[in-house]
Structure 1
């Protein structure tokens, strides 16, 4: 008699965790559904049953990336210095991209031809965006910067993502001190330029 299928929530969670690890360890080229299944100690049909296809699995990894980033943000403490808190957020984001470069590429770039995020996927980052807008709004309310909170948040995000991408590609400097100096220069230049 064949063994009964075990399609539990725990198995689904394990498959997602393994998929994130595989993406981080093997990169885009090494990411296959068959390898994910083998490392999760299940079968490719089980993975397909949970996620439909490779794009469905990537979609769940995409969502998991935003959940991970939001957990990072939730670990930040709020102080009575909104500008310092916004800079801490930028550094937290930097740390996430440095620690998870391939996952960040999935979240913010398009490294897989068979996964093109649509509107539901774009909404996945809404809690992350809300957190960033909240930190920006505190600076606006304190009169530290001026502007529309969404515009400022998007400009800050574009700057952070550009800097993080350049740092990961080793185009921001050859020493840690130089890289840190350029990060501080860019973030402070943006905030000083937005000073109210």
Structure 2
């Protein structure tokens, strides 16, 4: 059966038109109004065409999330790092919150309808960008915790805070309400560069950097993948963690000088 595409065009044109109409429907009717039949009708194609391009409804939802999230990701990809990685993390937090409040339907599709074991491509890319920012801070010795732990803490706090605001009436969604949370979380996982310049130990810096590298990411463990046992991998990470504590007392002095 020929495709009843009222406006012609190739697969790329059809795909973009379907996504554009799906984003409009999402904003107007929310996720519940985003049926494949409604999207196909709005885009002027038959439903089989939609399935040919996106495989199934989950594929369509992922593509819609990425398509709607593209302006945010483009801004994050073009993010110009400053000399202060911690300040860059604050800027990144603010960009994330502003996008969520300005695009509630897309944000809810991305983060409000979580399927265990599944992460939309746009969310995965956003996580990779955040992790890259944290890796940079870690190399400079500005992380108090491993990169993966900092990634989870920032992800959980940003998305949770935005979803909390989106549950309020539109008039009550003020970004400044969650600004203290931003500062609390970032202060807990990072250190200001200026506070570390005089008393930073190179042992701590190197141990923290190596700990970030050997910390498992998802199902991958770089240490066991290199041939070490699970016990050896755990012992290595424990020793690196202890090094960061032994050489960084609470008063900021260096134990090696005692």
Query: 1:125 and 1:30, CA in 2 relative to 1: closer, same or farther beyond 3 A?
Result: closer
Note the alpha carbon deviations across 1:172-193, whole angstroms, 9 max, x for none.
x9474xx41x322111111222
CA distance in 1, matches of 2:189, 2:58: 40
Counterpart secondary structure, 1:29: helix
1:81 aligns with one of 84, 96, 116: 84
Q: How many residues end up aligned between the 2 structures?
A: 186
Give the equivalent residue in structure 1 for 2:195.
Answer: none
Gaps of 5+ in 2: 192-258
Quick one: distance in 2 between partners of 1:66 and 1:4?
Answer: 29
The CA deviation string for residues 116-153 of structure 1, in whole angstroms up to 9 with x for no partner, is 4755x556543322210111222233333311111101
Partner residue in 2 for 1:26: 29
Distance 1:73 1:3 in 2: 38
> Highest Rg: 1 or 2?
2
Equivalent residue, structure 1, for 2:158 = 160
Quote how far apart the aligned CAs of 1:73 are: 1.0
Distance 1:146 1:195 in 2: 5
8 Å contact kept, 1:63–1:124: yes
Task: Kindly provide the CA deviation profile for residues 51-89 of structure 1, in whole angstroms up to 9, marking residues without a partner as x.
Answer: 244333223224435545422312432111211110111
Q: Distance in 1 between matches of 2:135 and 2:23?
A: 33
Give the 3-state SS of the residue equivalent to 1:34 in structure 2: helix
Match in the other structure for 1:146: 144
Question: Quick check: 1:185 aligned with 2:183?
Answer: no
TM-score (norm 2): 0.61
Picking from 38, 42, 45, the partner of 2:45 is 42
Distance 1:135-1:123 versus aligned 2 partners, 3 A rule: same
Give the Å deviation of 1:95: 1.7
User: Which of residues 85, 109, 112 is equivalent to 2:112?
Assistant: 109
- Worse-matched range after superposition: 155-164 or 48-57: 48-57
TM-score by length of 1: 0.78
Write the distance in 1 (CA, Å) between the matches of 2:122 and 2:44. Answer: 28
The answer to which of 11-20 and 52-61 deviates more is 52-61
Greater RCO (CA < 8 Å, at least 6 residues apart): 1
Cα RMSD of the aligned pairs, angstroms, is: 2.9
- SS of 1:50's equivalent in the other structure is helix
